[in-house]
Structure 1
Amino acid sequence: MTEPVHVVRRLEKALADDDFAWTFVLVGEDQTDKLATLTGDLRGPVSETGDGKEITSGFAYWGIGPTIAWANATNDPFYLVMKAGTESFQRHWRKVKPHVDKGGFHFVSLGIGTGVKDRTILEDLRRRNPDMFYIPVDMSSEMLRLGAQESVRSGHFPITQVLPVQIDFSIRDNMSELAQMLGRLIGDEPLLYSLTGNTLANFDDDEDLLQLITDVLRPQDRLLLEVASTTRLDEEAAFAAADEYHQTRAFTEFVTSALRYNTDLKVDNERIKFVGEIEDEDALLVKVLWQNDTREVIRMGLPDHTEVVLPIGDTIRLYTTRKYSTARLKRLTTACKLTPVEAMQSQFRYQRRPNPFGLELLLLAPASSGERDRTLADDIWAR
Structure 2
Amino acid sequence: MSEPVHVIRKLEQALVDDDFSWSLLLVGEDQTDKLATLTGDLRGPYSTTGDGKQITSGFSYWGIGPTIAWANATNDPFYLVMKAGAESFQRHWRQVRPHVDHGGFHFVSLGVGTGVKDRTIVADLHRYNPDMFYIPVDMSSEMLRLGTLEPVRGAGFPMAQVLPVQLDFSIADNVEQLGQMLAKLVGDEPLLYGLTGNTLANFESDLELLQTLTKVLRPQDRLLLEVASTNVLNAETAKEAAEEYHQTRAFAEFVTSALRYNTDLRIDLDNLDFRGEVEDDDALLVKIVWQNNTPDQIVMGLPDHTDVALDKGDTILLYTTRKFSTERLKKLTSACELTPVEHARSRFRRTRRPSPFGLDLILLAPGTAPATSSLADDIWR
User: Which is further off, 362-371 or 2-11?
Assistant: 362-371
Report the counterpart of residue 165 of structure 1 in structure 2: 165
- Counterpart of 2:380? 381
Cα offsets for 1:336-379 (capped at 9, x unmatched): 0000000011001112222111000000000078799775x534
Matched, 1:264 2:264: yes
Across the aligned residues of Structure 1 and Structure 2, the Cα RMSD in angstroms comes to: 1.4
Provide the rounded CA distance (Å) in 2 between the counterparts of 1:106 and 1:176: 18
* One-letter amino acid of the counterpart of residue 260, structure 2: R
- Deviation of 1:87 (Å): 1.1
Query: Corresponding residue for 1:308?
Result: 308
- Single out whichever of 71-80 and 57-66 deviates more from structure 2: 71-80
Aligned residue for 1:11, secondary structure, equals: helix
1:97-156 C-alpha deviation (Å, 9 max, x unpaired): 000012100000000001000000011101110000000000000000000011111111
Instruction: Indicate conservation of the 8 Å contact 1:220/1:369, yes or no.
Output: no
Query: Is the CA contact (8 Å cut-off) linking 1:341 and 1:372 kept in structure 2?
Result: no
Moved more, 130-139 or 19-28: 19-28
Q: Deviations over 1:234-293 (max 9, x none)?
A: 000000000000000000000000000000000100000000000000000000000001
Instruction: Provide, for residues 64-113 of structure 1, a one-character-per-residue CA deviation record: whole Å limited to 9, x for no partner.
Output: 00000000000011112211101111000000000001210000000000
- 1:3 is displaced (CA, Å) by 2.2
Query: CA offsets, 1:16-75, max 9 Å, x none?
Result: 211211110000000000000000000001000000000000000000000000000000
Letter in 2 for 1:136: P
- CA distance 1:349–1:371, shift in 2 (3 Å): farther
Mapping 1:285-296, distance limit 5 Å: 285-296=285-296
What does residue 114 of structure 1 align with?
A: 114
Q: Could you tell me how far apart the structure 2 residues matched to 1:273 and 1:181 are?
A: 42
Distance 1:163 1:203 in 2: 25
Aligned equivalent of 1:207 = 207
Aligned to 1:353: 353
TM-score w.r.t. the length of structure 2 is 0.98
Matches within 5 A, 1:151-162: 151-162=151-162
Q: Is the 8 A contact 2:290 2:318 kept in 1?
A: yes
Go from structure 1 to structure 2 and tell me whether the alpha carbon gap of 1:264 and 1:59 turns closer, same or farther (over 3 Å shift). Answer: same
- Distance in 1, matches of 2:138 and 2:318, equals 19
What amino acid is aligned across from residue 123 of structure 2 in structure 1?
Answer: E
Contact 1:42 1:316 in 2 (8 A): yes
Match of 1:220, SS state, is: coil
Q: Which amino acid aligns with 1:270?
A: D
Q: How do 1:4-23 and structure 2 match up within 5 A?
A: 4-23=4-23
Cα distance in 1, alignment partners of residues 378 and 4 from structure 2: 59
The range that moved more, 25-34 or 147-156, is: 147-156
In structure 1, list runs of 5 or more residues that go unmatched: none
Matches within 5 A, 1:3-152: 3-152=3-152
3-state SS of the aligned residue for 1:135?
A: strand
Which residue of the partner structure matches residue 338 of structure 2? Answer: 338
Cα pair distance change 1:373/1:353, threshold 3 Å: farther
Secondary structure at the aligned position of 1:329 is classed as: helix
What secondary structure sits across from 1:303 in the alignment? coil
1:199 to partner: Cα distance: 0.2
AA matched with 2:380:
W
In structure 2, the partner of 1:327 is: 327
The whole-number CA distance in structure 2 between the counterparts of 1:200 and 1:38 is 20
TM-score by length of 1: 0.97
Q: Is the 8 A contact 2:338 2:368 kept in 1?
A: no
Structure 1: how far apart are the matches of 2:220 and 2:128? Answer: 16
Paired with 1:366 and 1:343, the residues of 2 have a C-alpha distance of: 15
Cα distance in 1 for residues equivalent to 2:172 and 2:80: 35
Conserved? CA contact 2:342–2:379, under 8 Å: no
Which amino acid in structure 2 is aligned with residue 381 of structure 1? Answer: W
Q: Could you tell me which residue of structure 1 aligns to residue 181 of structure 2?
A: 181
Please give the alpha-carbon distance, in whole angstroms, between the structure 2 residues aligned to 1:75 and 1:264. 27
Q: Whole-Å Cα distance in 1 between the matches of residues 42 and 138 of structure 2?
A: 22
Q: Is contact 1:106–1:192 with CA below 8 Å preserved after alignment?
A: yes
Residue identity matched to 2:136: P
CA distance in 1, matches of 2:372, 2:357: 28
Task: Say if 1:219 and 1:368, in contact at 8 Å, map to a contact too.
Answer: no
Q: Residue 243 of structure 1 aligns to a residue in which SS?
A: helix
Change (3 A) 1:368 1:9: farther
Letter in 1 for 2:80: L
Structure 1 vs Structure 2: percent identity of aligned residues? 73
What runs of 5+ residues in structure 2 fail to find an aligned partner? none
Q: What amino acid maps onto 2:21 in structure 1?
A: A
Q: Secondary structure at the match of 1:365?
A: strand
Contact 1:110 1:194 in 2 (8 A): yes
* Distance (whole Å) between structure 2 residues aligned to residue 93 and residue 333 of structure 1: 20
What letter matches 1:36 in structure 2?
A: A
State whether residues 230 and 323 of structure 1, in contact with CA within 8 Å, keep that contact through their aligned partners in structure 2. Answer: yes
Q: Secondary structure, in 3 states, of the residue corresponding to 1:47?
A: coil
| Cα distance in 2, alignment partners of residues 198 and 312 from structure 1 | 33
d(CA) in 2 for partners of 1:102 and 1:2? 38
Asked whether the equivalents of residues 342 and 373 of structure 1 are also in contact (C-alpha less than 8 Å), the reply is no
